[in-house]
Amino acid sequence: MRADDVLQHLTTPLAAPVYPLRPTRFTDREYFNVVYRTDPDALRAVVPEPLEVTEPLVRFEVMRMGEVDGYGPYVESGQAIQVEHEGERGEYLHAMYLDNSAATLAGRELSAYPKVLGTPALRVDQGALVGTLDRGTERVATATMAYEWEPLDHDAALAEITVPTFMVKLVPDLRTQRHLVADLVRTEITDVTVKQAWTGPARLQLFAHALAPMADLPVLEVVRASHILTDLTLAPVRTVHDYLADRPSA
């Protein structure tokens, strides 16, 4: 392979692309969300400037992807923290765990999603919607909600899942062991259709794990929960803050 041919690729292995290089369309993306109140000091310790914590609220989510262009079905779980950036309300993605290696790599390499491999699951058990997350053989989180307990207004459901999302993108320079890129980025979902939306009483348990420290943001009070079925598209990320801009070069 000639050197010029190498530059025709944007991911490795060169002979077998891992993911498509285009916006991703999700069909029948199923959300189980539990919004809870946590320790404000714990949030301030993990939310990066210039994002601001206005309310100590975290959204724990389990998402079952019914059909995803280029990846197929998979399940994902994570924590999103309510923040503000320059007056705009949104969420900071603190942690994401999923059972699809291609989606994990694409999320990290093409965007800035803090994705690692895990084993999330979403099921119905004797009238309860149950979302779980395991890391290896150890349980990290268990969420339950009464199944299809009460209809949720579709506009409220849309507002919950379409807030802007902020993440940190870090790319190391292998030659200098310093940052090549250190950006705060923003994205959002588009072309959303809410097919079903439900709410009901819910509970959430988080378990301490060194490699999946969700329990560092403890559950003090469950505020609300939702179960939403949608179709949507993920928009590309854009930089809203460059952490290296004000730092003198070495």
Tens of pLDDT, residues 236-249 = 999 999 999 977 66
pLDDT at position 21 is 81
Please report, as a single letter, which amino acid is at residue 189.
I
Summarize pLDDT for 129-182 with one digit per residue, the tens.
999 999 999 999 999 999 999 999 999 999 999 999 999 999 999 888 899 999
**Mean pLDDT of the 79-108 span:** 96
Tell me the pairing of strands 189-199 and 128-135: unpaired
Report the alpha-carbon distance of residue 28 to residue 19 in Å, rounded: 20
CB-CB contact of 81 with 53 (8 Å)? yes
Q: How confident is the model at residue 54 (pLDDT cuts 50, 70, 90)?
A: very high
Report the alpha-carbon distance of residue 112 to residue 92 in Å, rounded: 11
Which amino acids are annotated catalytic? Answer: 115
Task: Select from 60, 31, 51, 54 the least CA-distant residue to 217.
Answer: 60
Token pair, residue 94, equals 């603190």
Token pair, residue 128, equals 């309860």
**Mean pLDDT of the 64-92 span:** 96
Q: Round the average pLDDT of the chain to a whole number and report it.
A: 95
Summarize pLDDT for 28-37 with one digit per residue, the tens.
999 999 999 9
CB-CB contact of 151 with 157 (8 Å)? no
CB-CB contact of 36 with 219 (8 Å)? yes
| Residue 68 backbone dihedrals phi, psi, to 5 degrees | -130, 125
Q: What is the DSSP letter of 91?
A: E
Residues 6+ positions from 43 with CB-CB distance below 8 Å? 53, 56, 58, 81, 217
**CA of residue 114 relative to chain centroid, distance:** 7
250: pLDDT strictly greater than 80: no
| Terminal CA-CA length for the chain | 35
